[in-house]
Amino acid sequence: MQSIGDGGAGGAAVRHASTGLAIGDTFRHKRAENTSGNAVSFSQRQYGFLKSVESALRRMTELSVLPGSQTSFQNWKSRFWVIKSPD
């Protein structure tokens, strides 16, 4: 009777099975790398989006403060509206 590791037909089956496991591990490793890369990319996109939201909110805050300060508001208003003098 032959043992599994002695090179007989059973040994070939074990070698093929271990090769299959190694290939499977390689594919799992690649999938894990891809998944990690996708997660990092997704996080970077979220960060960029949140930075643009932050910028918009900051600008909205600046604009909401302008009417509270008459001097600043008049200076800002004069840049955008033509104030007609009475004829």
Residue 84 has pLDDT above 60, yes or no: yes
CB 67 within 8 A of CB 73: yes
CA-wise closest residue to 77 among 86, 67, 65: 67
Q: What pLDDT is recorded for position 28?
A: 85
Report how far residue 81's alpha carbon sits from residue 76's, in angstroms, rounded to the nearest whole number: 9
Burial class (CB in 10 A: 0-12, 13-18, 19+), 34: exposed
Rounded to the nearest integer, the mean pLDDT of the chain is 75
pLDDT by residue (tens digit) across 28-68?
A: 888 888 899 999 999 999 999 999 999 999 998 888 876 66
Residue 22 has pLDDT above 90, yes or no: no
Q: What pLDDT is recorded for position 38?
A: 92
User: Would you kindly state where each structural domain of the chain is located, as residue ranges?
Assistant: 7-80
Q: What pLDDT is recorded for position 19?
A: 66
pTM: 0.45
Report how far residue 26's alpha carbon sits from residue 3's, in angstroms, rounded to the nearest whole number: 29
Residue 76 has pLDDT above 80, yes or no: no
